[in-house]
Amino acid sequence: MAAGASDLLRFTTAGSVDDGKSTLIGRLLYDTKSIFEDQLEALEGASRRSGEDGLNLALLTDGLRAEREQKITIDVAYRYFATPRRKFIIADTPGHEQYTRNMVTGASTAHLAVVLVDARKGVLTQSRRHAFISSLLGIPHMVVAVNKMDLVDWSMDAFDEIADEFRSFAAKLNVRDIVFIPISALEGDNVARRSERTDWYQGPSLLHHLESVNISADRNLVDFRFPVQYVIRPHQDFRGFAGEVASGTISVGEEVVALPSGRATRVTQIHSARGPVEEGLAGDPLVIGLADDIDVSRGDMIVRRRNLPQVGRRMEAMLCWMSETPLEVGRPLLVRHTTRAARAYVTNVLYRIDVDTLHREDAQTLALNEIGRVEVETADPVFFDPYRVNRSTGAFVLVDAFTNTTVGAGMIRGGVQTPGDLARADAEGAERPASPDVRWEPEALAREEREARNGHRAAVVWFTGLSGSGKSTLARAVERRLYDIGCSTMLLDGDRVRHGLSGDLAFSPEDRTENIRRVGEVARLFFEQGSIALCTFLSPYARDRDRARSLVPDGRFFEVYVRCDIEECRRRDSKGLYERAERGEITGLTGVTAPYEEPVSPELLAPSDDLGVDELAERVVAMLRSAGILPAGAPEARP
């Protein structure tokens, strides 16, 4: 693997003031012997001057004078250390609400977030705020470090109470991997080594978990995106384009197009810092040579011809506002996106989010550190992907056009669409392939007539999750309940459609996309027949699921994310897929050697490693009843 990309773990620490973030980082550096002698001497001197009895490890990271005086973290500080198993970059971010913007900055590139909770105080507003921001930023792994366990006499009950409360809150978030660890950063218990004072805790130490957490499947290796930073022309016989591969892979000989011109060409050579190479991966800094002398400059993007990003001037995004001056709709700004910059305006504030309750609130503006959903319009086209698909091309910052200060950080949800856009797309059959010389014939019977006879409304329930997560088991349990109360259903299962309908497809990214496209079209036909279509497919790519969603009206598509820890999936694996993947007998297994893009805002999160099939099935039925798909007076489903 190039450059040992998966051997580098970037993580951030977050939590409320005085939860012990700086002490924890100092402890990690101290216990891994990552402190130089002169630093240690300076630390000893600073500890004596501040009246400490021993080493105050927090002073190691509180570099600013104001931080040492107030004993809080104000700015983002990056620390580096390594163990024989992995290298680490820590973003030490502030805990005070006033500096939430700094926390967003530090966490934006992290693989993992460590959220500290004071064992004496429990889960506070800032704990929830930082967990929500971590989820919003798409950080896939989270560790909840319950600190200061020495001050609660190593109480297992206190630890369990905090874990239960945090787990209940996190069920609303999209974080697939949460680990709870009881620690004392001050005394070093369960930080670098397991502590004998928590004999009731059987999990790993924090350092062991950081060394072993699997991040190889987190990278997007499907969608090739190469934002051009510089044009390299050392002499008249060479013209190359320098930049970093934002996502995907690229090989010599592949056909590509340059945006915005749309001109197609081929890659003739790839140069890395080590010299000419045949292939580049996400994260690699490269210089790419092209076969044709086409116009490409800084801010343009090189992509594959059959895998294009969205191109547009109107975007919807979740925005964290970072300025003390409230957001003003229509005020001139600059958007900086990958290597491209353009004039921009926030044209609409759709809502603000209360980070305590995660409820949406009506809003016309955003104040400092507030987070909300907005619409942004740019003067020039931007080439973007939804943030959940690609953190590099799905993120942007807003800059004040007059002061040149950064005022906002955005995560793109997609292009702005109105109900009129969707209606036109449906009428025109946009992006829906059709055979030549055919035309769409309307239904003989209106769906509403069929729904009236069925006694329920039509819907598509889409179950997604890793192999072994329990999607099909849950879908079958839901179908039985719906059948028992008289519903018309159709269950589309991944294995069954691979016999016949998709029997000609393999498991390449392109074939997976085609498989989901076909299933989405079939589900739409059953939907128009008035049925509740239950689709249980791994469906690893968010764009494929979004496309299936776009085929039915708003409020009729329900994404159920069957979330399960991958180790539990391995244990359940009746098909032996994971063992075969580890033996190298199969390649491209999702979650192991191929990416899985988790749903960001599913209609229902179904944690199958925590809850049983019956309870989850009841939740799915309750969701359909709550959404009006099942009538309020319908008989209860029997378990």
Q: Is 472 a catalytic residue?
A: no
Q: Give the helix ranges, DSSP H, for 179-281.
A: 206-212
Nearest one of 194, 61, 186, 56 to 116, comparing CA atoms: 186
Q: How far is CA 360 from CA 168, 270, 319, 355, in A?
A: 19, 47, 14, 9
8 A C-beta contact, residue 252 and residue 265:
no
Cβ within 8 Å of residue 407, ≥6 positions away:
321, 322, 323, 325, 327, 333, 398, 399, 400
8 A C-beta contact, residue 349 and residue 374:
yes
**Which phi and psi angles does 395 have, rounded to 5°?**
-115, 155
Cβ within 8 Å of residue 148, ≥6 positions away:
20, 118, 119, 120, 184, 185, 186
* The amino acid at 189: D
Residue of 539, 574, 608, 626 marked catalytic = 539
Helix (H) or strand (E) holding 516: helix 509-528
- A 10 A CB-CB count for 96 gives 16
Q: Give SS3 for 128.
A: helix
* The amino acid at 315: M
Q: Residue 259 has which token pair?
A: 């945006």
639/615 Cα distance (integer angstroms): 9
| Active site positions, annotated | 539
